[in-house]
Structure 1
Amino acid sequence: MEFQRNKLAYAVFLACAISLAGCGGGDSGSPAVPDEPVTPTHPDTPTEPADPDFVDSAPVNDAVTAYVDASYSNTQNNVCHVTVDSNAGIRLADGFLDIWTPATLLADAGRGARAAGTDPVTGEACPAVPAGTWDGNANSGGTVVNQAVHDANIRFSVQATNNRSLEQEETASIDQPVHGAYLMTEGMGHMAQAWRDASGITGSYAFNPDRSVTATGTMSGSVNSQLGKVVVLIDDGLDQPDNDEAKRFYKYARPYLWDNNVKMAPGVNYTGPSVGSSDFVSGHTVGAWRRAASMAYAMPERFQEFYARAMIHGQSRVWGGAHSPLASIGGRMSGLAIAAANLYSSENPDLKQELRNPDITAQAKREAREQALTVMQARAGTTTWREFYDYLHAGQNTDPAGQDYDRFADHGKNKAAFLEGMNYGMTDQIIHPTDLAAVVPKGAEVLIETRYPYLTSEQRRVVLKTTAFPSGYPVMTDEEGWGRLNMFAAGDGYGQFNGLVTIDMDSSLGTFATYDIWRNDISGEGKLVFNGDGTLKLGGRNAYSGGTLINGGALEAASASALGSGSVQVNGGTLIVSAGAPLEVGNNYTQSAGAHLEVVIGADDQVGVQVKNTAKIEGGTLHVKFAPGYQPIAGTTLRIISAGRMEGDFSKVTVDNWNVLSVFTPTGISVDLAEPK
C-alpha cells in the first residue's frame, strides 16, 4: 500500500534539518512532530487473542519397554538375552518381523550350543540355546513375510550399486575400512583436521590402484589427548557398539546373496556368506550414528553436520553393496538408541545404579562438552562463542583443496539429502497407517540437551515430536519411536506450535541461549511467547496461527512469514525484521512503550512490516538499518509499517547515519530521509 506523504510537514522538516536549528530534528535522530495530521485513536481496536489453555507434551509409550531402561540386555553371547522379549537391541528393530521371519527366533547365527544360565540382573533361569544352523545364504532358512517390501529392499540395492556415482563409490569404499570416529570428524567441516589433532587421531587412508582403500594409524582417538574426555564420551565403552545380537537373531542374507546383480564397490568387496554378521542390522551404520550423536552432544555447534555425515555413512553401505536400505534404517535406529541410553543413564530414575554407564556420568558429560568448546574455540582463535559459531559455519563446499572446505556448508543440500536418506528405497512401501501420532522414546531428549540449553526437558521432547518423520514406512514406524526421529530437523527448532509455547532464552546459560536459529517451517494453532535476553532467529515459512508475544530479548523475523498468521505483540524486548521482504502480520500488530522495533531495509519500495488489520504503536523505539549494498539518497521515503488501520507513533526513531522525520498516515508509518549526518 502506498503511503500518502504529508508534504507540508516534510517541507518544514527538511528546512529544519538543513539548518539544524530549532525544529526538533537535530543530530539526535528523534522525530520531529508535525502540526498535522493528528494521530487518530480507535477505542474499538481488537483485543489480542487469549493464551491457549494447554501446553504441548510428548509422553512416552509405556506399553513398550524403553530401550534406555533395558539397554543392558543388548549384550553379546548371553543365553538370557537372545530373543525379542529378552534383548532390547533385538526388540528395537522388531518391525523387520513384518517383512521377514528368521529361521529361528534366537540370536544363534554362527554360534555353537550354549548351556543354560542365570540372568545376573533378574536372577531368572535362562534355558540352553542350541547351536545355530543358518549358513549366511539367502536359501538357508527363514521366510519372507512381505514379498513386496522384501523385493523393493533388494531391488533398491541392485539399482543403487549399478547407478552409483563415482563420489558415492569412493565414499562407500572409504567408509568400509576407515574407523567411524575418524569419518564422523568430517562433520567439523574446515576444522575436521583440528579436531583430529586435538583428539589424538593420527591415522590416514589411501586409495589403492584397484580403487580399494587402505587405512592406517590410530583413528579412534586417545583418552590422553586434548579432547580425551570427548573421546571417552564417543567411545562409550559398552559391549553393544554394532548391535551384534540383532544380526545373529534376524539372519537375513546380505543383498548380493539375494541378487547377484548387486555390484560391490572396490573398497567393500564382500564375496561370500557372512554367518555371524547378517545384513540386518548394519553394524557400520550403528557405529556411525552412535558416534555422531555423541559428537553432536559434545559440539552442538555442528549438530546437524555430524548427523548428516552419519546418514551418508548409512547410505554408503547401500551404495557399496554391503547392506540393504532396511538394514541401514535399522542401524540408524539402533545407533541413536545406544547413544541415548549412554547419555541418559546417569539421570534415568528407572535404572539401577549398577546398570548405569560408569564412564558417562552427568559430570563426565558436562566436562566433555566444556572441553570440546574450550579446546576447539582456542584452535579457532576466536574469543566469543558467537564468533566461534560463525567461524565454524564460514566454510565453502566447492573446492575440496581449499583450507576452508566444508563438505556440509550448504544447509539446504544437507537437509534434502537427509530427508532422502530417512526412508530411501522404501518411498512407495507403506505398510502402516500414515497418520500415526509421533511418539518420542524415553530419554531421547538427552540427544538435544546441549543443542537447546534454554529449553526444558519436556520442550526438547516436543521438538523431537513435532519434527518427527511421517509414519507408514517399514521398520522405522516402531512403537517406541526411534525410527521416525529426524535429527536434522530437530536441529532446526520446533516443527509445530501446539498450545502455549513459552521460550525463555537466559543468556547466562551461554552458547545457544545467547543466539539461535530455527529454520523449520512451523505450523500449528499454538502461540509463541518469547522471554529472556537472548536472540532467536526464525527463518522458516511459518504458518502457526496463535500469534506471537515478545516480552524480552530479541526475536528476529528472517522470512516474510516468520511470525505465522496471527497477531504480533511486542510488549518488551526487540522485534528484528530482516526478511528482505515485508514481514507479513496476519492480524494485528501492537508495540508497547518499552519495546523496540528494528527493521532492515534493502530497497526504496520495500515495506518493513505489512499488517493485515490494525497496527497500534504505543511508543517505544524504531531503529532502521540498511541491508548491505543498499544506499538510499536524501528525500527517500522508507515505508516502515503498512496497515489496514494505523494508531499511535514511536517515541523515538533512528536511522543509521541520517536525520529523519517520521510521517504518520491513517494506514501506516513511514520515515523520510532528510540528509546524512
Structure 2
Amino acid sequence: MSDAIKLKKHHLYLAIVAATALALAGCSDDDHDHDDSSAATKPAKPTGLGSEQTVDIPQVDYPLPSVDNAENNADGSLRYTLGQNPIAYLLRGINEIWHGTSETWQNAANGNGPDDYLPDPILDPKIWKENIQYVVDVTQNRTDEQAILAFLDDQRSKNYSVIDGYGPLTEAYVEGSDAYVDIPVPTVDQVLVDANYQSSHNDNIAFAGNTSADLGAVVSLVDLFRQRSPASTSASKYIFSTPRPWRMNDSGEIDFLGTDRHYTCTDSEGTASTVTYDRYTSSVEVVPGLMCSRRAHDAEKEADGLYTAETENRRKDGGYPSGHTNAGYLAAMAYAYALPQRYSAMLTRGSQLGEDRIVAGMHSPVDVIGGRIHALSVASYALNNGGESEAEAASEQAQQYFGDMAGAEGMSLYEFAHQSIDDSDETGLIDGNMINTAVYDNNDYDDHGANKKLYRQRLTYGLSQNKDEAGQDPVVPAGAEALLKSRQPYLSDEQRRAVLATTEIDSGYPILDDSNGWGRLDLVTAADGYGAFDGDVSVTMDASEGGFNAHDWWRNDIDGKGMLTLTQDNSGRLTLTGDNSYSGGILLQGGTLEAASASAFGTGDVYVENGTLRINPADDKALEIGGNLTMENGTLAMSMDEDNSQITVGQQVYIAGGTLKLDFADDGPTAGTKFTLINGATVSGTFGNVDAGDVNVELSYSDSGIAATVQ
C-alpha cells in the first residue's frame, strides 16, 4: 500500500472518530481553551447541617395534652371544669381579653349558664374594640351573595355545606356519597329582606352521605371527626360565656334595652308564632333571614327561673367558641384528609364557614378563632386515638373513586380536581327569585395564592399583635403532625412536625399563645411544604403509590441553612416554586427535582449524582444557582425559552457526563437560533448525551458557558 493511500485512510479514521464523538456528545467545542472535567477539581458534595430538624413535643401540665385527654370534653363530670377539660383550657386566652365569669364558675360551670357576670369584663379594650368593629364593618358592607352564603352556612348541615370545597368534584361527591340537603327553600327576599322569616336548620351525619354508599368510608370519617369524637363546644361556651356580637355596642359593651315580647316569626309553611328576643344597642346587622334564628326566650327556662320574660337569656347563648365554625372545620378536615388534592381548598372552605358566621352577624373573630382551635385539637385526637385506619380507608376510597374518573378523562387526579368550570355551567346561589340550597361544582377556592393569604389572615383576623410577645419559638402540639399525613405521605411524622413548625404564624396574637400551639398552626401554608430548612431534609417518594407520592409542589419561600436530599430510592417528582434562600445545598440521587422559580434551589451548591434535575422557572426567567453545579450523572432537563441564559451559576460548573435534555416548544425554533444554556464563573467537562427531541442542535462550550445552536 502506498504512503498516500495510508495517509488518506488515516485522515478518514480521524474524521470518523471525530464524527462519532460529536454524535455521542451532541456538541461542538468551539473553544479549545475549555477545561476538561478531568483537569478541573470536582466540587465536594454539600453536607448541610449534618442532621434533620427535631421539633420537641411541648412539656405541658394536666389537663393537656389534648391528644391524650380530649375525652374529658365529653365527660359529664369533667367537661365544665377548666382545669379538667383540655379543649376548654386551650381556649383560656379569651380571659385576657374578656373575662366575664369568675374563676369559681369556670372550674364548676354547668349547662344552665352563669347566674351572674363579673362587673368589668373587658380587660383588653383595644383588642375587644377591634373584634366588634370587624363584625360591624363586615355586616354593614356584605354583598347579597355573601349574605346568602352566610344564611346557607347557618342553616344547612355543616357536613353538607362545606362539600363545595371539593370545587369541580362537588357534584360527583354528592352522587357518590348520597349527601343531601333538605332545609326549606327560601325566596331571595326571605333571606335578604324578611326579618320575620323562620327557617328550619339541620345538622347530622346523614347530610354528609350514607356510610354504605360508594364513598361511604369518607362519610364515616366525617362522622368520626364530628359525631364520634369529643367535639361539642357547649362546655367551653358555658365556661367563658362571652356575648354574641349582636348583643354588643361599638365598644364591645353590653347595653341591654329590655326584651321584645311580641316578635313575629313565620315559617316556610306560613305559620306564624310570637317569640321573645333580647334587645341591645348594636351596630351589627344580622342577615334578615336569620333574625328568627337568634336565641329566643324559652318558656321552660323562664319557668325554671333561669331568666324572666324581661331579663336577658344570655346565659344560654355564649359566643365563644363558635360551634358552627368548629363543625365546619371538622367536616372540612375530614374531606381534606380523604382527598388531599383538594386539601388547601377544602380548609379554606372551612375557614369561609367561620367567616360566614361573622358575615351573618352571629359571631365575632375571637369566636371563630376559638372554633378553629377547638376543631384542630379534636381532629388530631380522633386520628391519634384509633382513627388512623379509618382515615386511611377514606383516603384510599376517595383516591380510587375520583382517580378512576380522572383516568377516564386522561387526567391526573390533581388536574381533575382542579379543572376549570365554565361560568355558564356553574349553578350559582340564586335561581330566579329562589335560593339554591344545594351545593354545586365551582372554582370558588381554586386560587391557591388567594387561599393561602386568606387562610393566614383568618388565623388572627387582623387583631393587633403584641410586639413584646412576638418572636417566640414555634410550638407544635403533640399529635398535630397527623393532620398532614395524607397530604405529605412521603414525609415522616418528625418531618411533618418540622413542616408545621416552620410554617406556623408568629407569637404575640390574642388567644393563640395560650393554645399550646394549636392556634398558631397554618395548615394551608404547611400543605405547601417546609417554610425553612432548619435541619437537613431527606425525601423519598414512591411514585408507584400515586398522588403526592408521585408529584408534589413545595410552594413556600424556604430559608434556613439545611440541605435538601432526594434519595436514591426516590422515584417521585418534587417541584419547588418559592423565592428560596436556603443555603445548605441540594443533593439529587434519584427521582426528579424541578425548579419552577428562578431561586428555587436556594443559594448553595447543587450536586446531581443521579435522577433528573428539571429547569422550568416561571416567567421564563433563568434559574440562579448561588454555589456550584455538579453533574456527576443523571439528567439535566431544560424547558427552553429565549432568555439570555437558562441557568446562571455563581461558582463552578462541573460536568462529568450525564444527559442534557432540551424541551422545545411544539413548533420548535428556527435553524440558526442560539440558546445560552448555562453561564458560570468557570465551566468544565461535557455532557455524555444530548436529547433535544426532533430538534437538531450543536453544543458549544467555553470556560464560562454552554450554548446550543439549532441546526
Q: For the superposition of Structure 1 and Structure 2, which TM-score range results when normalised by the shorter chain?
A: 0.7 to 0.9
State the match for 2:390 in structure 1: 364
Q: CA deviation at 1:152?
A: 1.6
After TM superposition, the structure 1 = structure 2 runs for residues 394-473 of structure 1, keeping only pairs within 5 Å, are 394-396=419-421, 401=426, 405-426=442-463, 428-430=464-466, 433-473=469-509
Q: CA deviation at 1:601?
A: 0.9
Residue pair 1:25, 1:32 contacting (<8 A) in 2 also? no
Residue pair 1:507, 1:534 contacting (<8 A) in 2 also? yes
State the match for 2:215 in structure 1: 227
The 1:627/1:232 distance shift into structure 2, 3 A limit, reads same
**How many percent identity over aligned positions?**
31
Picking from 690, 694, 703, the partner of 1:653 is: 690
Do structure 1's residue 377 and structure 2's residue 375 form an aligned pair? no
Q: CA deviation at 1:414?
A: 1.5
Q: CA deviation at 1:673?
A: 1.0
The 1:215/1:252 distance shift into structure 2, 3 A limit, reads closer
State the match for 1:5 in structure 2: none
Cα separation, 2, equivalents of 1:130 and 1:230: 33
State the match for 2:156 in structure 1: 178
What are the superposed Cα offsets for residues 549-579 of structure 1, whole Å, 9 maximum, x if unpaired? 1111000000000001111111110100011
What are the superposed Cα offsets for residues 412-439 of structure 1, whole Å, 9 maximum, x if unpaired? 222222222221141x242761101111
- Secondary structure of the 1:275 match is helix
State the match for 1:506 in structure 2: 542
After TM superposition, the structure 1 = structure 2 runs for residues 605-620 of structure 1, keeping only pairs within 5 Å, are 605-620=643-658
- Secondary structure of the 2:614 match is strand
Do structure 1's residue 208 and structure 2's residue 170 form an aligned pair? no
State the match for 2:256 in structure 1: none
Cα separation, 2, equivalents of 1:383 and 1:209: 37
Cα separation, 1, equivalents of 2:149 and 2:97: 29
Do structure 1's residue 266 and structure 2's residue 288 form an aligned pair? yes
Residue pair 2:218, 2:398 contacting (<8 A) in 1 also? yes
- Secondary structure of the 2:533 match is coil
Cα separation, 1, equivalents of 2:461 and 2:108: 40
What are the superposed Cα offsets for residues 220-241 of structure 1, whole Å, 9 maximum, x if unpaired? 3121221112111111133633
State the match for 1:389 in structure 2: 414
Q: CA deviation at 1:404?
A: 6.4
After TM superposition, the structure 1 = structure 2 runs for residues 193-204 of structure 1, keeping only pairs within 5 Å, are 193-203=171-181
Q: CA deviation at 1:98?
A: 1.1
Q: Counterpart amino acid of 1:235?
A: D
Q: CA deviation at 1:215?
A: 6.2
Q: CA deviation at 1:50?
A: 2.8
State the match for 1:672 in structure 2: 709
Residue pair 1:557, 1:563 contacting (<8 A) in 2 also? yes
Q: Counterpart amino acid of 1:518?
A: W
Q: CA deviation at 1:341?
A: 0.5
Q: CA deviation at 1:470?
A: 1.3
Q: Counterpart amino acid of 1:489?
A: T
Picking from 549, 555, 562, the partner of 2:593 is: 555
Do structure 1's residue 621 and structure 2's residue 646 form an aligned pair? no
Larger deviation, residues 59-68 vs 207-216:
207-216
State the match for 1:252 in structure 2: 242
The 1:226/1:28 distance shift into structure 2, 3 A limit, reads farther
Q: Counterpart amino acid of 2:664?
A: F
What are the superposed Cα offsets for residues 389-411 of structure 1, whole Å, 9 maximum, x if unpaired? 21111224855627963211211
Cα separation, 1, equivalents of 2:547 and 2:596: 20
State the match for 2:559 in structure 1: 523
Cα separation, 2, equivalents of 1:458 and 1:251: 38
Residue pair 1:397, 1:408 contacting (<8 A) in 2 also? no
Residue pair 2:623, 2:647 contacting (<8 A) in 1 also? yes
After TM superposition, the structure 1 = structure 2 runs for residues 565-584 of structure 1, keeping only pairs within 5 Å, are 565-579=603-617, 580-584=620-624
Cα separation, 2, equivalents of 1:169 and 1:46: 62
After TM superposition, the structure 1 = structure 2 runs for residues 145-184 of structure 1, keeping only pairs within 5 Å, are 145-184=123-162
The 1:578/1:627 distance shift into structure 2, 3 A limit, reads farther
Residue pair 2:154, 2:201 contacting (<8 A) in 1 also? no
- Secondary structure of the 1:562 match is coil
What are the superposed Cα offsets for residues 194-230 of structure 1, whole Å, 9 maximum, x if unpaired? 1011111122564424342766895231212211121
State the match for 1:122 in structure 2: none
State the match for 1:4 in structure 2: none
What are the superposed Cα offsets for residues 413-466 of structure 1, whole Å, 9 maximum, x if unpaired? 22222222221141x242761101111111111111111111011001111111
Q: TM-score, normalised by structure 2?
A: 0.81
The 1:326/1:510 distance shift into structure 2, 3 A limit, reads same
Residue pair 2:151, 2:289 contacting (<8 A) in 1 also? yes
State the match for 2:253 in structure 1: none
Cα separation, 2, equivalents of 1:235 and 1:488: 23
- Secondary structure of the 1:90 match is helix
Q: CA deviation at 1:377?
A: 2.4
State the match for 1:14 in structure 2: none
What are the superposed Cα offsets for residues 252-299 of structure 1, whole Å, 9 maximum, x if unpaired? 111111121111012432555543331100000000111111111111
Q: Counterpart amino acid of 1:208?
A: T
- Secondary structure of the 1:560 match is coil
Cα separation, 2, equivalents of 1:242 and 1:130: 13
Picking from 639, 642, 647, the partner of 2:676 is: 639
Q: Counterpart amino acid of 1:640?
A: L
- Count of residue correspondences: 616
- Secondary structure of the 1:623 match is strand
The 1:59/1:608 distance shift into structure 2, 3 A limit, reads same
Residue pair 2:27, 2:700 contacting (<8 A) in 1 also? no
Larger deviation, residues 271-280 vs 615-624:
271-280
Gaps of 5+ in 1: 1-19, 109-125, 347-359
Q: Counterpart amino acid of 1:289?
A: Y
What are the superposed Cα offsets for residues 323-342 of structure 1, whole Å, 9 maximum, x if unpaired? 11011001001011111100
What are the superposed Cα offsets for residues 494-519 of structure 1, whole Å, 9 maximum, x if unpaired? 11111211111122443211111111
Residue pair 1:610, 1:643 contacting (<8 A) in 2 also? yes
The 1:408/1:591 distance shift into structure 2, 3 A limit, reads same
The 1:286/1:388 distance shift into structure 2, 3 A limit, reads same
Cα separation, 1, equivalents of 2:708 and 2:127: 63
Residue pair 1:495, 1:523 contacting (<8 A) in 2 also? yes
State the match for 2:525 in structure 1: 489
Cα separation, 1, equivalents of 2:24 and 2:663: 13
Gaps of 5+ in 2: 1-14, 192-198, 250-281, 296-312, 428-439
The 1:211/1:35 distance shift into structure 2, 3 A limit, reads same
Do structure 1's residue 597 and structure 2's residue 592 form an aligned pair? no
- Secondary structure of the 2:83 match is coil
Residue pair 1:377, 1:383 contacting (<8 A) in 2 also? no
The 1:383/1:156 distance shift into structure 2, 3 A limit, reads closer
Cα separation, 2, equivalents of 1:30 and 1:271: 77
Q: Counterpart amino acid of 1:293?
A: M
Picking from 82, 96, 102, the partner of 1:98 is: 96
Q: Counterpart amino acid of 1:583?
A: L
Cα separation, 2, equivalents of 1:501 and 1:653: 31
What are the superposed Cα offsets for residues 50-100 of structure 1, whole Å, 9 maximum, x if unpaired? 331332121111124211101110116x23332221011210111111112
Residue pair 1:242, 1:284 contacting (<8 A) in 2 also? no
- Secondary structure of the 2:637 match is strand
State the match for 1:8 in structure 2: none
Cα separation, 2, equivalents of 1:497 and 1:210: 54
The 1:645/1:39 distance shift into structure 2, 3 A limit, reads same
